Amino acid sequence: MTGPILGAAGPRHHILSVLVENKAGVLARVASLFSRRGYNIFSLAVAPTDDERFSRITIVVDVESAPLEQIVQQLDKLVNVVRISELAPEQAMERELLLATVGAGGEQRVQVAALVQMFAGTVLDVASDQVTVAVTAAPDTLDDVEDLLAPFGIVELQRTGRVALPKLGSRRRLHAVADEAG
């Protein structure tokens, strides 16, 4: 369930794990940099870390819009960016959250519940003819979940940006592309 990113997020996408100062406007600085330099963001997730001074932004970037090295160096020029690590897709544990409301009453409701259970998902809400489910998984797995839910009739669907950490076995190969020294 944690294989390399495929499909929409093919090998031209790289994951940058960017440690930033937890200050007002930092996300705007990062987003504005991508916008003015013409870099494409595939997905973006931001959250506090265990240290309240810092937040972590996980950015999946399109390296066809610009070389990864150039994106990293420009990002590193932002004064509020503390450290940037690149997570190669095959060395990363990635997760996204999917929320979906599907049309499912009676018999179908049981089928949907069984389906999401296979992906360790949960049923969040139930109405007579609809059900809302949540699944957390690697992005390509969520693509499969979407495909499997589609026949029931998707009413609404929402996916988060991706978060990622290096696989334990490959931690030594985690590539700190820019840090205090850079």
52 contacts other proteins (rule: CB under 8 A)? no
Cα–Cα distance measured from residue 140 to residue 96, given in angstroms and rounded to the nearest whole number: 10
Among 12, 29, 159, 167, binds other proteins (CB under 8 A): 29
Asked if 40 and 65 touch (Cβ cutoff 8 Å), the reply is: yes
46 contacts other proteins (rule: CB under 8 A)? no
Among 2, 65, 80, 136, binds other proteins (CB under 8 A): 80
Contact string (CB under 8 A) for other proteins, positions 53-72, x = contact: x-------------x-xx--
Among 50, 52, 147, 180, binds other proteins (CB under 8 A): 180
168 contacts other proteins (rule: CB under 8 A)? no
Neighbours of 29 (CB within 10 A): 15
Report the nearest approach of other proteins to the CB of residue 65 (Å).
Answer: 14
Burial class (CB in 10 A: 0-12, 13-18, 19+), 112: buried
2 contacts other proteins (rule: CB under 8 A)? no
Those residues whose C-beta lies under 8 Å from the C-beta of residue 79, and which sit 6 or more positions away, are none
Question: Residue 40 or 80: which CB sits closer to other proteins?
Answer: 80
The residue ranges that bind other proteins (CB under 8 A) are 20-21, 24-25, 28-29, 32-33, 36, 53, 67, 69-70, 73-74, 76-83, 178, 180-182
